[in-house]
Amino acid sequence: MSELRTIETASYAKITAPSSLGKPPKLEWLSIKQLVVDPEYQREITIVGRKNIRRIVENFNWSMFAPIMVASVGGNKFAIVDGQHRATAAALCGVDKVPCAVIEALRGEQAAAFRAINANTTRLHTVQLHHAAVAAKDPRALKIAEVVKKAGVRIPRSPGRRLDGDCLCVETIARGIERAGEAVVILALRAIVHSGDGRSEELNKTIIGSTINVLGMHPDWCKVEAALFAAFETINLEDMWRAAASASARTRGTSTPLQFEAAMIEAISASFGTRRAATR
């Protein structure tokens, strides 16, 4: 278990706080029937939003439910400033009341609060979400972590400066496992490392995805790892990708990934043919 940290402020340059912090919110449990949505500043629930609501419903647990931010609009009604999706999910679960942080804000102030809350949110990168899922013992995340470890690469905890062998493509690896199986993904990652000595530039989603596709289409190559890795050592995947992109732009025909995969297949086939000839 990682060592727990306290909140640290000493490393921040001098920051001037506002003269007034405003009135702190009151925490209350409010009936969902008391909550309303102001279309002047609130978003419509989109198809993506509906999918998000479905995920919240299917995994509903109070330990994962943040309080709804609301403001009184009179008549014992409260406008949702932040948390429309959570409130909808709670209603779908048959919940009557939800925890709310009640702020004092006029309509314009509510819109400003909505904008500030959504604009100032620190978006989590997929690698950060992955490590949180591993800590939560999520089966999908644990499988990804196992595959990555066997392949000899790493998923860093932060998307900042990457070292050789670092890979940020969590979802590409997950889809590859679902599509081609763990063994093919492990072999694809190891082959890419052999091609570029583990350079993080080559461990990107386009190269990983295409390599998984190529090895998935040629299971016979996967049976002779030494020969496969030797073939990849003769390939510069970055140069091959740039050439594929250039060819695709010139012809305006076959897409870059398909051009890239065709070039990779040709290079590996040639290497295998050369090795067979040398052993005769």
> Which pLDDT score, from 0 to 100, does residue 2 have?
67
Give a yes or no: residue 150 inside a domain: yes
For the chain, list residues with pLDDT below 50.
Answer: 276-280
Residue that is last in its domain, among 104, 119, 134 = 119
pTM equals 0.70
> Which pLDDT score, from 0 to 100, does residue 279 have?
46
Same domain membership, residue 143 and residue 86? no
- Measured in whole angstroms, how far is the alpha carbon of residue 76 from the centre of its chain? 40
Report the C-alpha gap between 179 and 216 in whole angstroms.
9
**Contact, 87 vs 68, CB < 8 A?**
yes
Report the C-alpha gap between 140 and 60 in whole angstroms.
19
Q: What secondary structure letter does DSSP report for 14?
A: P
Same domain membership, residue 133 and residue 45? no
- Measured in whole angstroms, how far is the alpha carbon of residue 68 from the centre of its chain? 25
Give a yes or no: residue 5 inside a domain: no
Same domain membership, residue 161 and residue 43? no
pLDDT in tens, 220-244: 999 989 999 998 988 888 888 889 8
Residue that is last in its domain, among 119, 147, 171 = 119
Same domain membership, residue 143 and residue 72? no
Give a yes or no: residue 235 inside a domain: yes
> Which pLDDT score, from 0 to 100, does residue 160 have?
81
Give a yes or no: residue 17 inside a domain: no
What's the angle, vertex CA 101, arms to CA 99 and CA 106, rounded to 5? Answer: 135
Please report, for the domain that includes residue 64, its CATH number: 3.90.1530.10
Same domain membership, residue 136 and residue 271? yes
CB atoms within 10 A of CB 173: 30
- Tell me how many domains the chain contains: 2
> Which pLDDT score, from 0 to 100, does residue 247 have?
83
**Sheet with 68-74, side-by-side order of all strands:** 26-31, 97-103, 68-74, 77-82, 35-36
Same domain membership, residue 243 and residue 164? yes
Between β-strands 26-31 and 35-36, what pairing exists: parallel, antiparallel or unpaired?
Answer: unpaired
Domain span holding position 228? 126-279
240 Cβ neighbours under 8 A, 6+ residues apart? 260, 263, 264, 267
Same domain membership, residue 258 and residue 196? yes
**Contact, 159 vs 118, CB < 8 A?**
no
> Which pLDDT score, from 0 to 100, does residue 198 have?
60
CB atoms within 10 A of CB 71: 22
Q: How far apart are the first and last CA of the chain?
A: 55
pLDDT in tens, 134-160: 887 889 999 999 999 999 999 998 888
> Which pLDDT score, from 0 to 100, does residue 278 have?
46
Where b means 16+ CB within 10 Å and e means fewer, 133-170 reads bbeeeeeebeebbebbeebebbbbeeeeebeebbbbbb
Residue that is last in its domain, among 78, 103, 119 = 119
